[in-house]
């Protein structure tokens, strides 16, 4: 799964940058951990995409993420619908990647994080550093 996470880095970073750039004054707005993936999904869907083609590698990574996130009732019909619009697929892909990355970090589900803190969490995850409860105090 480390390879999947590395491949998702570009689209996740682009989404996080878009979150910060869209509402710079909202850089200090706070988001609860459980809402981060769905908010990122919304931002990912509205990003201008220079390369609208979806690769087979992205589809395979997405299916791997669904499996790792415990989505057992997913089917090819659902995938077909998501692939009709690249924005829809990109949003779903970011949602699943963010969900997987966040669930593998030791984050306090009751804490709210700013966009800047969220960027730091993902940056540390991409560098292979787990966030523990103690390290979270440094964010």
Q: Supply 24's token pair.
A: 């710079």
Average pLDDT over residues 59-81: 91
**Residue 62 near residue 96 (C-beta atoms within 8 A):** yes
Q: Is 114 helix (H, G, I), strand (E, B) or coil?
A: strand
Check residue 26 and give its pLDDT.
57
Whole-prediction pTM value?
A: 0.85
User: Each residue of 71-115: pLDDT tens digit?
Assistant: 888 888 899 999 998 899 999 999 999 999 999 888 988 899 988
- Res 139 pLDDT > 80: no
The better pLDDT of the pair 131, 13 is held by: 13
User: Each residue of 6-34: pLDDT tens digit?
Assistant: 999 999 999 998 888 876 655 677 899 99
Q: Is 53 helix (H, G, I), strand (E, B) or coil?
A: coil
Residues whose CB falls within 8 Å of the CB of residue 6, separated by 6 or more in sequence, listed in order? 126
Q: Supply 104's token pair.
A: 């593998």
Tally the residues of the chain.
139
């Amino acid at each position: 799964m480390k390879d999947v996470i590395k491949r998702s880095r570009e689209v996740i970073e682009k989404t996080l940058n878009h979150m910060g750039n869209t509402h710079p004054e909202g850089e200090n707005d706070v988001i609860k951990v459980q809402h981060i993936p769905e908010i990122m999904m919304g931002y990912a869907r509205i990003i201008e995409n220079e390369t609208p083609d979806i690769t087979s590698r992205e589809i395979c990574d997405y299916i791997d993420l669904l499996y790792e996130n415990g989505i057992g009732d997913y089917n090819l019909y659902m995938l077909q619908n998501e692939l009709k619009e690249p924005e829809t697929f990109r949003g779903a892909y970011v949602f699943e990647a963010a969900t997987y990355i966040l669930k593998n970090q030791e984050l306090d589900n009751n804490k709210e994080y700013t966009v800047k803190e969220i960027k730091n969490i993902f940056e540390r995850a991409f560098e292979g550093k787990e966030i523990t409860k103690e390290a979270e105090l440094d964010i």
